[in-house]
C-alpha cells in the first residue's frame, strides 16, 4: 500500500521536517510504499495557469506525475505550519493544481444547474500535522479555519473520510522535552492510522 507524504516548510531544520521524517520512519517500519515530496525542496510552482483550467488540459509532466500519485495513493500525510490560518501558498497552489476535477472529484447533476460532488480519491485515510506559534487558548479566539479547510473543503469533498488532524503549539516557546513529546505523538498517531501491513497487503508497485 502506498502513502503520499507532503511537507510544506522552507526550513529543512524545522519541527515540520522532523515531523515528516518521523512519519516516514513509521511508515517504512510498517511496510508502506512512500511517495515523499518536500514542496520547497522541489521548487513546486504554486501558480495555476490559465492553460490548466480546462478538464482536458495538456498538463506539464511534473503535474501529471503528482496527479498520478494522488490517484494511486492509499493514504496521505500532510505537514505544514499554520500561516494566518492557512497553509503556505506553495501548498495551497499544490492543491489548486493537483486536486483536479475528474481526478480528485467530479459532479453529478441532481437537477438542472445543480451538481452534487463525488469524491474520486482511492485514499480513504489522511493525517494533517500542523504547527503554530500561537498559544492554544489564543487560537481558540480565531476558531479553527484549518480544520474546516482540510476536514470538509478538501479531504472529505474528495472522498477521504477517515481523517485526523493534530496541531502542535506554541512552537516558538516550546522546550526540547515538549518537542520530543510531540514527535512521540506523531509516531503514535501515524502508527494508529497506518498500522503494520500484513504480508498479503505489502504488494509491490
Grid cell digits, residue 165:
488532524
Please give the Cα distance from 174 to 77 (Å, whole number).
23
Q: Which residues contact 97 (CB under 8 A, 6 or more apart)?
A: 46, 48, 52, 63, 66
pLDDT at 135: 79
- So where are the chain's domains? 2-47+60-201
Q: Give the up-direction half-sphere exposure of residue 83: CA atoms within 13 A in the CB hemisphere.
A: 13
Q: Residue 79 in contact with residue 5, Cβ under 8 Å?
A: yes
In 10-63, the DSSP E strands lie at 33-38
pLDDT at 203: 61
Residue-wise pLDDT for 98-125, tens only, equals 999 999 999 998 777 778 999 999 999 9
> How do strand 105-111 and strand 114-119 relate by DSSP bridges?
antiparallel
CATH architecture of 2-47+60-201: 3-Layer(aba) Sandwich (3.40)
Higher pLDDT, 37 or 139: 37
Q: 3-state class of 115 per DSSP?
A: strand
pLDDT at 156: 96
Amino acid at each position: 500500500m502506498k502513502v503520499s507524504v507532503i511537507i510544506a516548510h522552507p526550513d529543512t531544520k524545522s519541527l515540520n521536517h522532523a515531523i515528516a521524517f518521523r512519519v516516514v520512519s513509521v511508515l517504512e517500519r510498517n511496510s508502506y510504499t512512500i511517495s515523499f515530496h518536500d514542496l520547497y525542496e522541489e521548487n513546486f510552482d504554486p501558480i495555476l495557469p490559465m492553460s490548466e483550467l480546462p478538464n482536458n488540459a495538456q498538463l506539464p509532466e511534473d503535474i501529471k506525475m503528482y496527479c498520478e500519485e494522488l490517484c494511486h495513493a492509499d493514504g496521505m500525510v500532510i505537514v505544514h505550519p499554520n500561516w494566518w490560518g492557512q497553509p503556505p501558498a506553495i501548498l495551497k497552489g499544490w492543491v489548486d493544481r493537483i486536486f483536479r476535477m475528474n481526478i480528485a472529484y467530479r459532479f453529478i447533476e441532481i437537477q438542472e444547474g445543480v451538481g452534487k460532488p463525488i469524491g474520486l480519491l482511492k485514499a480513504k485515510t489522511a493525517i494533517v500535522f500542523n504547527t503554530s506559534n500561537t498559544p492554544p487558548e489564543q487560537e481558540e479566539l480565531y476558531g479553527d479555519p484549518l480544520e474546516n479547510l482540510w476536514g470538509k473543503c478538501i479531504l472529505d469533498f474528495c472522498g477521504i473520510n477517515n481523517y485526523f488532524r493534530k496541531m502542535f503549539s506554541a512552537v516558538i516557546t516550546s522546550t526540547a522535552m515538549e518537542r520530543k513529546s510531540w514527535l512521540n505523538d506523531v509516531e503514535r498517531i501515524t502508527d494508529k492510522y497506518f498500522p503494520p501491513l500484513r504480508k498479503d497487503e505489502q504488494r509491490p508497485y
